[in-house]
Structure 1
Amino acid sequence: MTNAFIAAIDALFADPNIGEDAVWKAGGVGPGVAVRIIRKSPDRLAEFGESRAVLPTLTLDIRRSQSATIAEGDLIVIGAETFKIIGEPMGDALALVAACEAVKV
């Protein structure tokens, strides 16, 4: 893996317009670990027969270098908001970033 990709990912997460400070709590307990995340809120289209609904979603991207073992049920605290990871985090092709679907708790 080239350092150029790692440097690019680090720059994105460090950018104050893109990345945010957060605390990752493995298993939802303990003091947690300081991490940087990128919050994404894409809409998802759900179809029910002839009807369609647009559903809001929340995805939190987190660097694997900061959270190698992030898993379903873990908590991410961003300021005063707490989010629970639902489903298994999905990795990118270079194993640099995990995309975690989350819900506010």
Structure 2
Amino acid sequence: MSVFEAALGRIFGNPSMAVAAVWISAATSEERTVRVMRRAQDRISEFGAGRFVSDTMLVDVRVSDLPDPRPGDLIVIGADSYTIQGEPVRDRERLIWSLDLRPS
């Protein structure tokens, strides 16, 4: 285990930084408990002369917890259910997935 993986374990284990979630595969209905860090920044999109601000829901999850997320899979955080939209993206060290979610 690298130093980065050990640090991520502590960060994702901290209840102030990450929350428990359930991943549900759209293909096989397999379920897995994971810890996610939520990032809900606004996204600015331009269309012609207009600029639109929209809410987003992004989460980070460790690759070791969730090796193969796919678009259409569900992430359930508390009572809220989200669908992964778009392709999941890994960080440079290939340790964290960033998932773009939309409400289900």
Q: TM-score scaled by structure 1? A: 0.92
Choose between structure 1 and 2: higher strand proportion: 2
Kindly report which structure 2 residues correspond to 1:21-32, keeping only aligned pairs within 5 A, or say none.
21-27=20-26, 30=29, 32=31
Instruction: Give the root-mean-square deviation of aligned CA atoms.
Output: 1.4
Residue 100 of structure 2: aligned partner: 101
SS of residue in 2 equivalent to 1:55:
strand
Runs (5+) with no aligned partner, structure 2: none
Shift of 1:28: 6.5
Q: With structure 2 as the length reference, what TM-score do the two structures score?
A: 0.93
SS across alignment from 2:19: strand
Aligned length: 104
- Give the drift of 1:30: 3.0
Is 1:28–1:75's contact at 8 Å kept on the other side of the alignment?
A: no
> Whole-Å Cα distance in 2 between the matches of residues 93 and 48 of structure 1?
31
What is the percent sequence identity of the aligned residues? 35
Partner-residue secondary structure (3-state), 1:88: strand
1:64 alignment partner in structure 2: 63
- Per the alignment, residue 32 of structure 2 pairs with 33
Residue 48 of structure 2 aligns with which residue? 49
